[in-house]
Amino acid sequence: MANKRVLIVHDDPDMVTALRLTLESAGYEISDAGTSQEGLQKVKERAPDLVVLDAALETSADLQVSLALRNPAPQSPYAAYRHIPILMLTAPHTAASLRSGPEEAYLPVDDFVDKPIDPNVLLEKVRSLIL
């Protein structure tokens, strides 16, 4: 059985390294993209089993990967990839951890992981999203 593929869309190569270390040792095949545009391109090229996004990048970029992938229009160029689960990294403010959900809840993602990343929490969430 081929390894499951995870695509990481993140503009910080150090964060990509941190994620890679954990995910690769757990057997996942990792590819990464430094911008939202590159990320969408790689989704088409590689059809990953999971996409990891960063809340800061998603909310500040001109293009939102999550919105593009989940575009409900039947003629959307990403229609074939609409089903791919999306995990989003978020930086909770200390008081915000008291709230039931991050402000990024309006973006169509399936689960969230707080930064700094606890590798075990990351793996647990990835495993439950890649069925």
Q: Distance (Å, rounded) from C-alpha 115 to C-alpha 49? A: 22
Nearer to other proteins, 47 or 121 (CB): 121
Task: Mark the segment that binds other proteins (CB under 8 A) among 9-17, 27-35, 66-74, 78-86.
Answer: 9-17
The only residue of 7, 8, 9, 15 in contact with other proteins, by rule CB under 8 A: 15
Judged on CB neighbours under 10 Å (0-12, 13-18, 19+), 120 is exposed
Does 19 help bind other proteins (rule: CB under 8 A)? Answer: yes
Place of tokens 């993209």: 33
Does 27 help bind other proteins (rule: CB under 8 A)? Answer: no
Nearer to other proteins, 18 or 67 (CB): 18
The only residue of 6, 22, 86, 129 in contact with other proteins, by rule CB under 8 A: 22
Residue 78 has a CB neighbour count (10 Å cut-off) of 17
Where do the H-state alpha helices sit in 1-131?
13-25, 36-46, 55-60, 65-69, 119-129
Please report, as residue ranges, which positions from 66 to 95 form the binding site for other proteins (by CB under 8 A): 91, 93-95
HSE-CB at 122 with a 13 A cutoff on CA atoms is 26
The residues that touch other proteins, with contacts defined as CB under 8 A, are 12, 14-15, 17-19, 21-22, 25-26, 56, 91, 93-98, 115-120
